[in-house]
Amino acid sequence: MPKYIPEPFRIKMVESIHLIDRKEREAALKRAGYNVFGLRSDEVYIDLMTDSGTGAMSDKQWSAMMHGDEAYAGARSFFRLKEVIDEIFAFKHFVPVHQGRAAENILIEAMQMRPGQLVPSNMHFDTTEGNIRARGGIPNNLIIQQAYDPKAILDFKGDMDIDALKAWIEKKGPENIPFGMITITNNAGGGQPVSMANLKAVSKVYRSYKIPFFIDACRYAENAYFIKLREPGYADKTPLEIAKEIFSLADGATMSAKKDGLVNMGGFLAMNDDDLFTRARAALIMREGFPTYGGLSGRDLDAMAVGLKEALREDYLAYRLGQAEYLAGRLRDSGIPIIEPPGAHAIYMDAARLLPHLAREQLPGQALSAALYLEGGIRAVEIGAVAFGQLVNGKWDFPALELVRMAIPRRVYTQSHLDYAADVLAEIKTTASKLKGMKMTYAPELLRHFTAKFEVLN
pLDDT in tens, 379-435: 999 998 888 888 777 788 888 889 999 999 999 999 999 999 999 999 999 999 999
pLDDT digits (tens, 9 = 90+) for 350-377: 999 999 999 999 999 999 999 999 999 9
The percent of residues above 70 in pLDDT, for the chain, comes to 100
**Can you count the helices (H) and strands (E) in the chain?**
16, 16
Q: What is the mean pLDDT of residues 22-34?
A: 96
pLDDT digits (tens, 9 = 90+) for 245-261: 999 999 999 999 999 99
Give the pLDDT confidence score for residue 2 in this predicted structure.
66
pTM, two decimals, is 0.94
Q: What SS3 state is found at 405? A: strand
Query: Residue 1 pLDDT more than 70?
Result: no
Query: Residue 289 pLDDT more than 80?
Result: yes
How far CA 353 is from CA of 287, 357, 403, in Å, comes to 43, 9, 9
Give the pLDDT confidence score for residue 444 in this predicted structure.
79
Nearest residue to 369 via CA among 385, 382, 359: 382
Separation between Cα atoms, residue 258 and residue 307, nearest integer Å: 10
Query: Residue 33 pLDDT more than 70?
Result: yes
Query: Residue 80 pLDDT more than 90?
Result: yes
Residues in the chain: 458
Q: What SS3 state is found at 157? A: coil
Separation between Cα atoms, residue 213 and residue 357, nearest integer Å: 43
Query: Residue 334 pLDDT more than 80?
Result: yes
> So where are the chain's domains?
22-51+314-456, 59-310
Phi, psi of 353 (to 5 degrees): -75, -35
Q: What is the mean pLDDT of residues 282-287?
A: 94
- Cβ density class 268-299: b for 16+ within 10 Å, e for less: bbbbebeebbebbbebbeeebbbbbbbbbbbb
Give the pLDDT confidence score for residue 445 in this predicted structure.
80
pLDDT digits (tens, 9 = 90+) for 181-237: 999 999 888 899 999 999 999 999 999 999 999 999 999 999 999 999 999 999 999
pLDDT band at 72 (very low <50, low <70, confident <90, very high): very high
Give me the chain's average pLDDT, please: 94
Give the pLDDT confidence score for residue 389 in this predicted structure.
82
Q: CATH 3.40.640.10: does it fit domain 59-310?
A: yes
Nearest residue to 78 via CA among 93, 87, 68, 88: 68
pLDDT digits (tens, 9 = 90+) for 160-189: 999 999 999 999 999 999 999 999 999 888
Give the pLDDT confidence score for residue 450 in this predicted structure.
84
Q: What is the mean pLDDT of residues 333-349?
A: 96
CATH of 22-51+314-456, picked from 3.40.50.880, 2.30.42.10, 3.40.50.150, 3.90.1150.10, is 3.90.1150.10
What is the number of alpha carbons within 13 Å of residue 291 lying toward its C-beta? Answer: 12
The percent of residues above 90 in pLDDT, for the chain, comes to 88
CB 175 within 8 A of CB 169: no
pLDDT band at 3 (very low <50, low <70, confident <90, very high): confident
Give the pLDDT confidence score for residue 384 in this predicted structure.
87
- Residues pairing with 270 in the sheet: 94, 253
Query: Residue 127 pLDDT more than 90?
Result: no
Strands 180-183 and 118-121: unpaired
